Amino acid sequence: MGTFCSVIKFENLQELKRLCHWGPIIALGVIAICSTMAMIDSVLWYWPLHTTGGSVNFIMLINWTVMILYNYFNAMFVGPGFVPLGWKPEISQDTMYLQYCKVCQAYKAPRSHHCRKCNRCVMKMDHHCPWINNCCGYQNHASFTLFLLLAPLGCIHAAFIFVMTMYTQLYHRLSFGWNTVKIDMSAARRDPLPIVPFGLAAFATTLFALGLALGTTIAVGMLFFIQMKIILRNKTSIESWIEEKAKDRIQYYQLDEVFVFPYDMGSRWRNFKQVFTWSGVPEGDGLEWPVREGCHQYSLTIEQLKQKADKRVRSVRYKVIEDYSGACCPLNKGIKTFFTSPCTEEPRIQLQKGEFILATRGLRYWLYGDKILDDSFIEGLVFFRSF
């Protein structure tokens, strides 16, 4: 009940502005189109409500829509939870293990990271999601993951309705050899026939909704499996990257040490319970975390400090040989570069020929790094053409 109240009682009406963003507009648009068309198709053309099966089908469609929207708005408006402004550990000596955030005027708690979009340090930050226009973190990780699960399930149900609607309506109208297909159509027969005919516009709209449903099932379903993979290891996307860099650092310097991720509880079930609870409230307070034997609260932050100290040594310096406007998906840099643009809101850095960048990591056609400007750096994402 407390979670529900937190959804409808916004601490600040400015939170409603999160809806005024391309991500929520597209996401809510897809949900509205698929759910509305599925209900219309069911009532008018596929499965009449005066049958038991039709009623159950319609109730299930409403149930999917309500649960999807509930978890979506929960993830958006409840938010990830932010580190209190001016926060510092109770033991002053522990500050030596933590990074200091100049924007929040506070130390970064274990597992927290500063988000440039939210302009706050986020508890157990996983990533900033443009589809909810908010970060995914400590408080809303469960709601966000449930949304990723429910959306494909609802779309699969809707896609079935769309396919069966088109099939039943075209069954005796077009001669495509469908007469030989042995499907029991008795449940979908209507007596009398539907008042609203299934015309060309209805067919085109249903086909469009089917494309949206199938695309959403594939795209969001993949995101769900990625999230579940890291949840069962009690990690976040950022922590997975930190662990990868830690192993790379040890291998690069041939160090006689083994990096042990401190928050892995040793079993998938225990890791699962760190995020999903019956009360809906995640384990802990977002500032201190249970750790495995042999580790302590600051094992991961110490590794981050090592990587930060090593960053300038390990980064690769490149000279810009071609101007880049900073466009998100540059059309003049080739088809492959256009279609492999990272799906992130990281700022793209405008570059001019002759400038220098310091790359920390990269994809095939894009680099993450800093633009060297005198003695300062501008962080972001830059275009890179491989030869």
Catalytic residues: 129
Of 249, 299, 304, 242, the closest CA to residue 100 belongs to: 304
Cα-based angle 347, 348, 350 (whole degrees, multiple of 5): 130
User: Long-range pairs for 336-341 at CB < 8 Å and ≥24 separation?
Assistant: 336/365, 337/365, 337/366, 337/383, 337/385, 340/364, 340/365, 340/366, 341/366
Beta bridge partners of 122: 82, 113
In contact, 47 and 57? CB cutoff 8 Å:
yes
In contact, 177 and 87? CB cutoff 8 Å:
no
First to last CA, the chain: 57
Which amino acid type is present at position 96? Answer: M
- Rounded CA-CA distance 94/34 in Å is 51
What is the DSSP annotation of 276-317? Answer: --TTSPPSS-SS-----TT--TTHHHHHHHHHHHHHHHH-EE
Instruction: For residue 82, give the DSSP letter.
Output: B
CA atoms within 13 A on the CB side of 20: 5
Beta bridge partners of 318: 357
- Rounded CA-CA distance 361/380 in Å is 11
What stretches of the chain adopt beta strand conformation (E)?
100-101, 106-107, 113-115, 120-122, 127-129, 134-136, 316-319, 356-362, 366-373, 376-383
- Rounded CA-CA distance 109/123 in Å is 7
